[in-house]
Chain A
């Protein structure tokens, strides 16, 4: 099985193994700031850099490939699962190194995203991946961005050496509850996902402490201004509280309480004499991904797990990937199920609210209201339920109040606060500062006045907000459906958005 693919040409391999990697959504090169060095190739820029946009509109920042699409596992939702009869290929470490450095020099990419199917065993696979990264960092002198996927079930030593070679390391949570994980990914378990996650987060924290940083990852500056966020508090075990995700919570708790992994020098690189191997541990942090819509869970389940992982393991990012039916399987939604793009979009918006706006998931959803409204975004939804707190006076309101106004974000708050020191802010200025007035207008006053004559009445505002977003929401769910779009316009159904 391994040998067959060796005959394939490099471009054929690249075609197969990038095609197989494309469902992994993370492609950002952000989170690491590293200057270049003479004799080496590459640097890293904290904001991340996109180099192109693929036909699906997603940014291309990294050479995203699998090392191999051979796999001994049989995850139901995955194209590479053992039971599928597909063309298989495997890159040699040198092929990966050459592609990465040559693409990099042409400014096609910021670095490498390396994932893999499980070949022989998790340890064997992880070992091969580490070997590739080591070669890339030493002989090929590559100093750009690397994101590596840890293989669930690989030993913590191997995962640790991967973390020392990469900027970001991630393990996919895949599904938000234990039940669906055992149903759809029978070879994986919550434990062999959560345990390495914990070991990685401990390693990141101790490396950060060792170089004089705060143990926890940097968050958006705005979080320091807010009185309460999901990232406040330092005791991770106490911090996670009781979110509603079944099974996962227990596993997270027990992982956190048995914190006996990774002390001191146990994860020093193999050859500390080589300078290019003396690196911080995954400076861009760890991330994970969940598949949306392959299983029954509600948005509340998904976001609760996300919040749990942010709090418990200080994850830098959680990614959400709308399920695309690839396999015909009774355990899965049927092949003609539409890809839940709008739902995915709402989850990203909610994720933003957790990371940048100081919201907790229980403020947004509950057992009685487990799913987001598809018509309006989660922040508008929240605001509509709290109309009593509005309108807020832009010239007096605090950070905590402003951040909760729909249409106002961290950047515009910074501008508002700075402008307030020199005079009064009016609606014209707000517009210039990037405030989205078509949403914000219902919730703010400037020197006591609202922008128009607006009744503070839930149904009225809901209708207006729905109108303002209808076109966008429709396009998100139906990106290529131009015919329907015209129908919308022809019948005047889409309220022209200001």
Chain B
């Protein structure tokens, strides 16, 4: 088995798909992943692929033209997943896609397609979760910063929603796990940024800044609950404790 390994970013993954495809080893004899294996097996051969513009573009064009732009955006979305088998699943779906065309996404009877949707759904759920539960903190007048700790690499997927919501504010969302961030200057487009260690440490303590509206929000949060309907179990089901870390109302 030959294992193709690349970094977890979309361009590198596209390049990796290109190399895997053109290796002509037979689809059953290769595997793709973005994670270094914990233990290297002697039976497998490992190849590290890095970003190559030409390769990435040719995969992008092939998927868009021969399958469909929808499928392209679906796989790009699922690629934010941190699941070990995400890239490999995408690859398997593309093989089917090149054979059957855009309908591949409806062929849920195939194990790879159904796994693809599990991955896709998990990413979608996490994006949706943070659209709801991101909390911004005003660290100085009119600069709003949020920290999140997502499982998947989804911080970029939050940019569209929050740009539409707050087009004329300065804000930033920081993914503490993967040390990446999106930055939105007032009235401009947002951009994605990998954070250096220095930047990251400097931004780490923003939640300790005093923000008077956090206190007002806590007042509201407590008094809006109806004690006669007290239902912590339901509250926990809907908003699990492990997800509350940055939700200031629970601090």
Instruction: Report if A22-B225 is in contact (Cβ < 8 Å); known contacts: A15-B219, A49-B131, A52-B249.
Output: yes
Are A480 and B135 closer than 8 Å at their CB atoms? no
A333: min CB distance to chain B, Å: 13
Are A52 and B221 closer than 8 Å at their CB atoms? yes
For B214, give the chain A residue with the smallest CB separation.
Answer: A106
Partner of B216, one of A54, A99, A422: A99
Stretch at the interface among A56-64, A168-176, A216-224: A56-64
Q: Which residues from chain B contact A37 at a C-beta distance below 8 Å? A: 167
Encoded as 1 (CB less than 8 Å from any A CB) or 0, chain B from 219 to 246 comes to 1111111111111111101110000000
For B230, give the chain A residue with the smallest CB separation.
Answer: A480
Is residue B122 within 8 Å, beta carbon to beta carbon, of the partner chain?
A: no
Are A106 and B138 closer than 8 Å at their CB atoms? yes
Is residue A324 within 8 Å, beta carbon to beta carbon, of the partner chain?
A: yes
Taking CB atoms and an 8 Å cut-off, the chain A residues in 413-453 that contact chain B are 418-419, 422-423, 432
Are A57 and B234 closer than 8 Å at their CB atoms? yes
Is residue A38 within 8 Å, beta carbon to beta carbon, of the partner chain?
A: yes
A304: min CB distance to chain B, Å: 26
Q: Which residues from chain B contact A475 at a C-beta distance below 8 Å? A: 233
Q: Which residues from chain A contact B216 at a C-beta distance below 8 Å? A: 10-11, 14, 99, 102-103
Whole-angstrom CA separation of A447 from B90 in the bound complex:
33
Stretch at the interface among A39-47, A124-132, A232-240: A39-47
Are A57 and B134 closer than 8 Å at their CB atoms? no
Are A23 and B231 closer than 8 Å at their CB atoms? no
Are A36 and B231 closer than 8 Å at their CB atoms? no
Are A422 and B226 closer than 8 Å at their CB atoms? no
Instruction: Report if A57-B235 is in contact (Cβ < 8 Å); known contacts: A99-B216, A106-B144, A423-B109.
Output: yes
For A106, give the chain B residue with the smallest CB separation.
Answer: B136
Q: Which residues from chain B contact A11 at a C-beta distance below 8 Å? A: 215-216, 219
Whole-angstrom CA separation of A37 from B169 in the bound complex:
12
Whole-angstrom CA separation of A50 from B249 in the bound complex:
14
Contact size class for B? 35 or more
Whole-angstrom CA separation of A75 from B211 in the bound complex:
39
Partner of B226, one of A10, A63, A324: A324
Instruction: Report if A54-B221 is in contact (Cβ < 8 Å); known contacts: A102-B213, A107-B146, A419-B108.
Output: yes
Q: Which residues from chain B contact A479 at a C-beta distance below 8 Å? A: 229-231, 233-234
Are A107 and B167 closer than 8 Å at their CB atoms? no
Instruction: Report if A36-B166 is in contact (Cβ < 8 Å); known contacts: A52-B133, A55-B225, A56-B226.
Output: yes
B233: min CB distance to chain A, Å: 7
Are A14 and B164 closer than 8 Å at their CB atoms? no
Are B220 and A14 closer than 8 Å at their CB atoms? yes
Encoded as 1 (CB less than 8 Å from any B CB) or 0, chain A from 10 to 36 comes to 110011001101110000000000011
Instruction: Report if A57-B231 is in contact (Cβ < 8 Å); known contacts: A43-B164, A51-B133, A418-B106.
Output: yes
Partner of A55, one of B146, B162, B235: B235
Q: Which residues from chain B contact A41 at a C-beta distance below 8 Å? A: 166, 168-169
Is residue B132 within 8 Å, beta carbon to beta carbon, of the partner chain?
A: yes
Partner of B230, one of A40, A55, A99, A419: A55
Are A53 and B228 closer than 8 Å at their CB atoms? no
For A60, give the chain B residue with the smallest CB separation.
Answer: B224
Q: Which residues from chain A contact B192 at a C-beta distance below 8 Å? A: none
A487: min CB distance to chain B, Å: 16
Whole-angstrom CA separation of A19 from B225 in the bound complex:
8
Are B235 and A54 closer than 8 Å at their CB atoms? yes
For B114, give the chain A residue with the smallest CB separation.
Answer: A432
Is residue B202 within 8 Å, beta carbon to beta carbon, of the partner chain?
A: no
Is residue B24 within 8 Å, beta carbon to beta carbon, of the partner chain?
A: no
For B163, give the chain A residue with the smallest CB separation.
Answer: A36
A99: min CB distance to chain B, Å: 7
Is residue B165 within 8 Å, beta carbon to beta carbon, of the partner chain?
A: yes
Interface centre among A11, A23, A57, A103 (most CB of B within 10 A): A57
Sample of 8 more A-B contacts, CB < 8 Å, known A322-B229, A480-B233:
A18-B224, A23-B226, A38-B187, A58-B229, A60-B221, A105-B138, A108-B135, A422-B107
Chain B residues engaging chain A, CB cutoff 8 angstroms: 106-109, 114, 131-138, 144, 146, 162-169, 187, 211, 213-217, 219-235, 237-239, 247, 249
A-B contact pairs, 23 of them (CB 8 A): A11-B216, A14-B216, A14-B220, A39-B168, A39-B187, A40-B167, A41-B166, A52-B133, A53-B235, A55-B222, A55-B227, A55-B235, A56-B227, A56-B230, A57-B233, A103-B216, A107-B133, A107-B136, A418-B106, A419-B108, A422-B107, A475-B233, A480-B230
